[in-house]
Structure 1
Amino acid sequence: MNPATDQALDNPSLPEGRILGRRAFVDLVRQAIAAAASEGWVKMVWCDPDFADWPLGERSVIESMQAWSASGRSLHLLAQDFSVLQQHHPRFVQWRVMWSHLVEARATGRGTGGELPSALWTSQWTMERLDLKHNVVVATFDPARRVALGERLDAAWHKASPSFPASTLGL
Protein backbone atom coordinates (compact mmCIF):
# COMPACT_ATOMS: atom_id res chain seq x y z
CA MET A 1 0.00 0.00 0.00
CA ASN A 2 1.22 3.47 -0.90
CA PRO A 3 -0.18 6.20 1.38
CA ALA A 4 0.24 8.85 -1.33
CA THR A 5 -1.75 6.75 -3.80
CA ASP A 6 -4.40 5.97 -1.18
CA GLN A 7 -4.84 9.70 -0.52
CA ALA A 8 -5.09 10.39 -4.25
CA LEU A 9 -7.87 7.79 -4.50
CA ASP A 10 -9.68 9.45 -1.58
CA ASN A 11 -9.61 12.79 -3.41
CA PRO A 12 -9.98 12.31 -7.16
CA SER A 13 -10.57 16.06 -7.64
CA LEU A 14 -6.91 16.83 -6.95
CA PRO A 15 -4.39 15.68 -9.51
CA GLU A 16 -0.90 14.46 -8.83
CA GLY A 17 2.13 14.86 -11.05
CA ARG A 18 3.47 17.42 -13.49
CA ILE A 19 0.98 19.96 -14.86
CA LEU A 20 1.74 22.44 -17.62
CA GLY A 21 0.22 25.74 -18.68
CA ARG A 22 -1.35 28.85 -17.23
CA ARG A 23 -4.92 27.62 -17.60
CA ALA A 24 -4.04 24.33 -15.88
CA PHE A 25 -2.36 26.26 -13.04
CA VAL A 26 -5.41 28.50 -12.52
CA ASP A 27 -7.73 25.47 -12.62
CA LEU A 28 -5.52 23.70 -10.10
CA VAL A 29 -5.71 26.63 -7.66
CA ARG A 30 -9.52 26.63 -8.01
CA GLN A 31 -9.67 22.87 -7.43
CA ALA A 32 -7.41 23.06 -4.38
CA ILE A 33 -9.45 25.80 -2.73
CA ALA A 34 -12.68 23.93 -3.45
CA ALA A 35 -11.14 20.77 -1.94
CA ALA A 36 -10.09 22.77 1.14
CA ALA A 37 -13.72 23.78 1.60
CA SER A 38 -15.26 20.37 0.95
CA GLU A 39 -12.71 18.46 3.03
CA GLY A 40 -12.34 21.03 5.81
CA TRP A 41 -8.59 21.50 5.59
CA VAL A 42 -7.49 23.18 8.79
CA LYS A 43 -4.42 25.05 7.51
CA MET A 44 -3.28 26.33 4.15
CA VAL A 45 -0.16 28.25 3.19
CA TRP A 46 -0.23 30.21 -0.05
CA CYS A 47 3.02 31.62 -1.32
CA ASP A 48 3.73 33.61 -4.46
CA PRO A 49 5.85 36.65 -5.31
CA ASP A 50 2.66 38.70 -5.93
CA PHE A 51 -0.35 36.39 -6.59
CA ALA A 52 -0.98 38.10 -9.94
CA ASP A 53 -1.75 34.80 -11.72
CA TRP A 54 -3.94 33.30 -9.01
CA PRO A 55 -7.74 33.42 -9.60
CA LEU A 56 -8.39 35.05 -6.22
CA GLY A 57 -10.83 37.62 -7.58
CA GLU A 58 -13.22 35.05 -9.01
CA ARG A 59 -16.63 34.65 -7.43
CA SER A 60 -16.33 30.84 -7.32
CA VAL A 61 -13.01 31.04 -5.44
CA ILE A 62 -14.48 33.45 -2.89
CA GLU A 63 -17.48 31.14 -2.47
CA SER A 64 -15.07 28.26 -1.78
CA MET A 65 -13.14 30.41 0.68
CA GLN A 66 -16.40 31.37 2.39
CA ALA A 67 -17.32 27.67 2.67
CA TRP A 68 -13.83 26.89 4.03
CA SER A 69 -14.00 29.63 6.69
CA ALA A 70 -14.67 28.18 10.12
CA SER A 71 -13.36 28.36 13.63
CA GLY A 72 -9.90 26.86 14.00
CA ARG A 73 -8.92 27.31 10.36
CA SER A 74 -5.89 29.30 9.28
CA LEU A 75 -4.49 30.72 6.07
CA HIS A 76 -0.93 32.00 5.85
CA LEU A 77 -0.18 34.27 2.90
CA LEU A 78 3.43 34.89 1.94
CA ALA A 79 4.51 37.25 -0.84
CA GLN A 80 7.27 39.62 -1.77
CA ASP A 81 4.64 42.36 -2.00
CA PHE A 82 0.83 42.35 -1.73
CA SER A 83 0.16 45.46 -3.84
CA VAL A 84 -0.71 43.46 -7.00
CA LEU A 85 -3.08 41.21 -5.04
CA GLN A 86 -4.76 44.27 -3.50
CA GLN A 87 -5.17 45.96 -6.89
CA HIS A 88 -6.29 42.98 -8.95
CA HIS A 89 -8.30 40.87 -6.51
CA PRO A 90 -10.75 43.18 -4.65
CA ARG A 91 -13.16 40.32 -3.84
CA PHE A 92 -10.39 38.48 -2.04
CA VAL A 93 -9.34 41.66 -0.21
CA GLN A 94 -12.92 42.08 0.99
CA TRP A 95 -13.07 38.41 2.07
CA ARG A 96 -9.75 38.86 3.91
CA VAL A 97 -11.20 41.83 5.86
CA MET A 98 -14.24 39.78 6.94
CA TRP A 99 -12.17 36.76 7.95
CA SER A 100 -9.07 38.58 9.23
CA HIS A 101 -8.96 36.38 12.33
CA LEU A 102 -8.18 33.38 10.09
CA VAL A 103 -5.53 35.05 7.92
CA GLU A 104 -1.93 36.02 8.61
CA ALA A 105 0.08 37.70 5.87
CA ARG A 106 3.79 38.38 5.63
CA ALA A 107 5.96 39.97 2.96
CA THR A 108 9.64 39.51 2.23
CA GLY A 109 10.03 42.70 0.20
CA ARG A 110 11.28 42.94 -3.37
CA GLY A 111 14.97 43.52 -2.74
CA THR A 112 15.61 40.49 -0.54
CA GLY A 113 17.29 38.27 -3.12
CA GLY A 114 16.13 34.65 -3.43
CA GLU A 115 12.79 34.22 -5.12
CA LEU A 116 9.81 32.98 -3.21
CA PRO A 117 8.24 29.79 -4.50
CA SER A 118 4.77 29.89 -5.99
CA ALA A 119 3.04 27.22 -3.97
CA LEU A 120 -0.05 26.08 -2.11
CA TRP A 121 0.75 23.87 0.88
CA THR A 122 -1.53 21.82 3.10
CA SER A 123 -0.82 18.86 5.34
CA GLN A 124 -2.67 16.65 2.82
CA TRP A 125 -1.50 17.86 -0.61
CA THR A 126 0.79 20.44 -2.17
CA MET A 127 1.38 22.13 -5.46
CA GLU A 128 4.43 24.11 -6.45
CA ARG A 129 4.88 26.11 -9.62
CA LEU A 130 8.49 25.42 -10.56
CA ASP A 131 8.58 27.75 -13.57
CA LEU A 132 6.44 30.89 -13.33
CA LYS A 133 6.94 31.90 -16.96
CA HIS A 134 5.85 28.55 -18.44
CA ASN A 135 3.58 27.50 -15.53
CA VAL A 136 5.22 24.18 -14.82
CA VAL A 137 3.55 22.83 -11.68
CA VAL A 138 4.15 19.72 -9.60
CA ALA A 139 1.22 18.55 -7.48
CA THR A 140 1.61 15.76 -4.96
CA PHE A 141 0.30 13.87 -1.96
CA ASP A 142 3.84 12.60 -1.28
CA PRO A 143 4.69 13.19 2.41
CA ALA A 144 8.43 13.78 1.78
CA ARG A 145 7.77 16.48 -0.81
CA ARG A 146 5.12 18.09 1.42
CA VAL A 147 7.54 18.21 4.36
CA ALA A 148 10.36 19.65 2.23
CA LEU A 149 8.12 22.38 0.78
CA GLY A 150 6.66 23.09 4.21
CA GLU A 151 10.14 23.59 5.65
CA ARG A 152 11.12 26.02 2.85
CA LEU A 153 7.91 28.00 3.31
CA ASP A 154 8.36 28.06 7.09
CA ALA A 155 11.92 29.41 6.73
CA ALA A 156 10.70 32.16 4.37
CA TRP A 157 7.79 32.94 6.73
CA HIS A 158 10.14 33.55 9.66
CA LYS A 159 12.31 35.93 7.59
CA ALA A 160 9.29 37.96 6.42
CA SER A 161 7.49 40.83 8.15
CA PRO A 162 3.77 41.23 8.86
CA SER A 163 2.02 42.79 5.88
CA PHE A 164 -1.36 43.21 4.12
CA PRO A 165 -3.34 44.29 7.17
CA ALA A 166 -7.09 43.74 7.15
CA SER A 167 -7.63 47.39 8.01
CA THR A 168 -5.57 50.51 8.30
CA LEU A 169 -6.07 52.59 11.40
CA GLY A 170 -5.86 56.33 10.94
CA LEU A 171 -5.61 59.04 13.53
Structure 2
Amino acid sequence: MDDLLPTPDVSQRPTGRFLGRVAFQQMLRDALACAAHEGWREIIVSDPTFEDWPLGERDVCTSLHAWARPGRQFTMLAGSYDQVVRRHARFVAWRTTWSHLIDCRACRSAHSQDVQDIPSALYSPVWTMRRLDLEHSSGICGDDAQRRVLLQQAQSEWLRKSSPAFPSSTLGL
Protein backbone atom coordinates (compact mmCIF):
# COMPACT_ATOMS: atom_id res chain seq x y z
CA MET A 1 0.00 0.00 0.00
CA ASP A 2 2.84 2.40 0.86
CA ASP A 3 4.26 1.84 -2.63
CA LEU A 4 1.30 3.78 -4.01
CA LEU A 5 2.17 6.91 -2.07
CA PRO A 6 4.08 9.56 -4.01
CA THR A 7 7.71 10.03 -3.04
CA PRO A 8 8.25 13.56 -1.69
CA ASP A 9 10.27 15.80 -3.97
CA VAL A 10 13.42 16.44 -1.97
CA SER A 11 15.16 18.21 -4.81
CA GLN A 12 13.67 21.52 -3.68
CA ARG A 13 13.45 22.96 -0.20
CA PRO A 14 9.93 23.90 0.92
CA THR A 15 9.30 27.65 0.63
CA GLY A 16 6.51 30.02 1.62
CA ARG A 17 3.78 30.32 4.15
CA PHE A 18 1.92 27.43 5.71
CA LEU A 19 -1.33 27.33 7.67
CA GLY A 20 -2.68 24.55 9.83
CA ARG A 21 -1.32 21.61 11.74
CA VAL A 22 -1.36 19.25 8.75
CA ALA A 23 0.59 21.71 6.59
CA PHE A 24 3.06 22.36 9.43
CA GLN A 25 3.70 18.67 9.95
CA GLN A 26 4.13 18.05 6.23
CA MET A 27 6.55 20.98 6.04
CA LEU A 28 8.67 19.31 8.73
CA ARG A 29 8.57 15.92 7.00
CA ASP A 30 9.65 17.49 3.71
CA ALA A 31 12.36 19.58 5.39
CA LEU A 32 13.92 16.60 7.16
CA ALA A 33 13.82 14.54 3.96
CA CYS A 34 15.57 17.45 2.23
CA ALA A 35 18.13 17.68 5.06
CA ALA A 36 18.98 14.01 4.57
CA HIS A 37 19.16 14.40 0.79
CA GLU A 38 21.33 17.54 0.89
CA GLY A 39 23.37 16.60 3.97
CA TRP A 40 22.73 19.68 6.10
CA ARG A 41 25.57 19.83 8.62
CA GLU A 42 23.53 21.42 11.42
CA ILE A 43 19.90 21.35 12.49
CA ILE A 44 18.47 23.22 15.47
CA VAL A 45 14.87 22.56 16.45
CA SER A 46 13.05 24.38 19.19
CA ASP A 47 9.54 24.28 20.61
CA PRO A 48 8.00 24.60 24.08
CA THR A 49 6.96 20.90 24.07
CA PHE A 50 7.26 19.36 20.55
CA GLU A 51 3.79 17.99 21.25
CA ASP A 52 2.42 18.36 17.72
CA TRP A 53 5.63 17.77 15.78
CA PRO A 54 5.66 14.50 13.78
CA LEU A 55 8.92 13.35 15.39
CA GLY A 56 7.72 9.83 16.17
CA GLU A 57 6.61 9.02 12.63
CA ARG A 58 8.46 6.30 10.75
CA ASP A 59 9.22 8.56 7.75
CA VAL A 60 10.63 11.31 9.98
CA CYS A 61 12.89 8.89 11.84
CA THR A 62 13.98 7.36 8.53
CA SER A 63 14.94 10.83 7.28
CA LEU A 64 16.79 11.59 10.51
CA HIS A 65 18.62 8.28 10.32
CA ALA A 66 19.64 9.01 6.71
CA TRP A 67 20.78 12.50 7.77
CA ALA A 68 22.90 11.35 10.73
CA ARG A 69 26.60 11.18 9.88
CA PRO A 70 29.80 12.00 11.76
CA GLY A 71 30.46 15.74 11.90
CA ARG A 72 26.79 16.71 11.92
CA GLN A 73 25.03 18.36 14.84
CA PHE A 74 21.39 18.19 15.91
CA THR A 75 20.41 20.56 18.72
CA MET A 76 17.02 20.38 20.37
CA LEU A 77 15.60 23.01 22.74
CA ALA A 78 12.37 22.68 24.70
CA GLY A 79 10.72 23.87 27.86
CA SER A 80 9.99 20.25 28.71
CA TYR A 81 10.57 16.88 27.05
CA ASP A 82 7.61 15.15 28.73
CA GLN A 83 5.53 15.15 25.52
CA VAL A 84 8.47 13.91 23.44
CA VAL A 85 8.84 10.87 25.69
CA ARG A 86 5.06 10.24 25.75
CA ARG A 87 4.28 10.76 22.06
CA HIS A 88 7.42 10.08 20.02
CA ALA A 89 8.81 6.64 20.92
CA ARG A 90 10.60 6.15 17.59
CA PHE A 91 12.33 9.50 17.97
CA VAL A 92 13.39 8.62 21.54
CA ALA A 93 14.97 5.41 20.19
CA TRP A 94 16.68 7.35 17.36
CA ARG A 95 17.96 9.89 19.90
CA THR A 96 19.48 7.05 21.95
CA THR A 97 21.23 5.57 18.91
CA TRP A 98 22.65 8.88 17.72
CA SER A 99 23.21 10.56 21.11
CA HIS A 100 26.77 11.53 20.13
CA LEU A 101 25.34 13.91 17.47
CA ILE A 102 22.48 15.31 19.53
CA ASP A 103 22.50 18.05 22.15
CA CYS A 104 19.20 18.32 24.01
CA ARG A 105 18.65 21.42 26.10
CA ALA A 106 15.79 22.68 28.27
CA CYS A 107 14.91 26.14 29.37
CA ARG A 108 13.12 25.75 32.65
CA SER A 109 12.24 29.33 33.40
CA ALA A 110 10.94 30.41 36.79
CA HIS A 111 7.91 31.70 34.92
CA SER A 112 6.24 28.94 32.90
CA GLN A 113 4.73 31.60 30.62
CA ASP A 114 8.24 32.56 29.49
CA VAL A 115 8.87 29.00 28.27
CA GLN A 116 5.91 29.34 25.89
CA ASP A 117 7.94 32.05 24.11
CA ILE A 118 10.56 29.55 22.91
CA PRO A 119 10.37 29.74 19.11
CA SER A 120 8.68 26.80 17.42
CA ALA A 121 11.20 26.49 14.64
CA LEU A 122 13.73 24.53 12.64
CA TYR A 123 17.01 26.21 11.71
CA SER A 124 19.75 25.08 9.37
CA PRO A 125 22.49 27.14 7.72
CA VAL A 126 20.58 26.88 4.41
CA TRP A 127 16.87 26.87 5.37
CA THR A 128 14.52 27.81 8.19
CA MET A 129 10.94 27.16 9.24
CA ARG A 130 9.18 29.06 12.01
CA ARG A 131 5.67 28.83 13.35
CA LEU A 132 4.54 32.34 14.12
CA ASP A 133 1.18 31.27 15.61
CA LEU A 134 1.26 28.01 17.58
CA GLU A 135 -2.50 27.88 18.11
CA HIS A 136 -3.23 27.89 14.36
CA SER A 137 0.10 26.35 13.30
CA SER A 138 0.80 29.11 10.83
CA GLY A 139 4.22 30.27 9.82
CA ILE A 140 6.77 30.74 7.11
CA CYS A 141 9.74 28.86 5.74
CA GLY A 142 12.44 29.35 3.16
CA ASP A 143 16.07 30.10 2.53
CA ASP A 144 15.96 33.89 3.06
CA ALA A 145 19.28 34.90 4.66
CA GLN A 146 17.80 37.59 6.90
CA ARG A 147 15.18 35.22 8.29
CA ARG A 148 17.88 32.61 8.96
CA VAL A 149 20.01 35.12 10.89
CA LEU A 150 17.07 36.36 12.97
CA LEU A 151 16.00 32.84 13.86
CA GLN A 152 19.54 31.81 14.72
CA GLN A 153 19.86 34.81 17.04
CA ALA A 154 16.52 34.04 18.74
CA GLN A 155 17.39 30.38 19.25
CA SER A 156 20.91 31.25 20.44
CA GLU A 157 19.49 33.53 23.11
CA TRP A 158 17.27 30.73 24.41
CA LEU A 159 20.13 28.23 24.23
CA ARG A 160 22.23 30.55 26.44
CA LYS A 161 19.49 30.34 29.09
CA SER A 162 19.20 26.56 28.81
CA SER A 163 20.80 23.58 30.48
CA PRO A 164 21.36 19.96 29.40
CA ALA A 165 18.21 17.83 29.43
CA PHE A 166 16.56 14.70 28.01
CA PRO A 167 19.41 12.26 28.58
CA SER A 168 19.78 9.48 26.03
CA SER A 169 19.87 6.90 28.80
CA THR A 170 19.34 6.84 32.52
CA LEU A 171 22.02 5.27 34.64
CA GLY A 172 21.21 3.71 37.96
CA LEU A 173 22.86 1.61 40.59
Length-normalised TM-score, structure 2: 0.89
Instruction: Find the aligned partners of 1:94 and 1:132 in 2 and give their Cα distance.
Output: 27
Structure 2 residue runs of 5 or longer lacking an equivalent are 1-9
Instruction: Find the aligned partners of 1:21 and 1:150 in 2 and give their Cα distance.
Output: 24
Worse overlay, 45-54 or 105-114: 105-114
Instruction: Find the aligned partners of 2:32 and 2:109 in 1 and give their Cα distance.
Output: 27
Counterparts in 2 of 1:65-104, with a 5 A limit? 65-104=64-103
Count residues in correspondence.
161
Runs of 4+ in 1 over 6 A off after TM superposition: none
The alpha-carbon deviation at position 111 of structure 1 amounts to 4.0
Cα RMSD for the two superposed structures? 1.2
Instruction: Find the aligned partners of 1:29 and 1:137 in 2 and give their Cα distance.
Output: 12
Instruction: Say if 2:14 and 2:30, in contact at 8 Å, map to a contact too.
Output: no
Residue of 121, 124, 130 corresponding to 2:123: 121
The alpha-carbon deviation at position 88 of structure 1 amounts to 0.5
Counterparts in 2 of 1:15-164, with a 5 A limit? 15-109=14-108, 111-112=110-111, 113-114=113-114, 115-164=117-166
Instruction: Find the aligned partners of 1:111 and 1:14 in 2 and give their Cα distance.
Output: 38
The alpha-carbon deviation at position 110 of structure 1 amounts to 5.6
Instruction: Say if 2:14 and 2:31, in contact at 8 Å, map to a contact too.
Output: no
Aligned-partner residue type, residue 129 of structure 2: M
1:97-154 deviation digits (Å, cap 9, x = unpaired): 0000000011012644431010000000000000001111110211111001101101
Instruction: Find the aligned partners of 2:11 and 2:64 in 1 and give their Cα distance.
Output: 20
1:65-103 deviation digits (Å, cap 9, x = unpaired): 110010001100000000100110010000000000000
Instruction: Find the aligned partners of 2:105 and 2:15 in 1 and give their Cα distance.
Output: 28
Length-normalised TM-score, structure 1: 0.90
Aligned-partner residue type, residue 18 of structure 2: I
Instruction: Find the aligned partners of 1:21 and 1:153 in 2 and give their Cα distance.
Output: 23
The alpha-carbon deviation at position 14 of structure 1 amounts to 2.3
Q: Does the residue aligned with 1:75 lie in a helix, a strand or coil?
A: strand
Q: Does the residue aligned with 2:105 lie in a helix, a strand or coil?
A: strand
Q: Does the residue aligned with 2:153 lie in a helix, a strand or coil?
A: helix
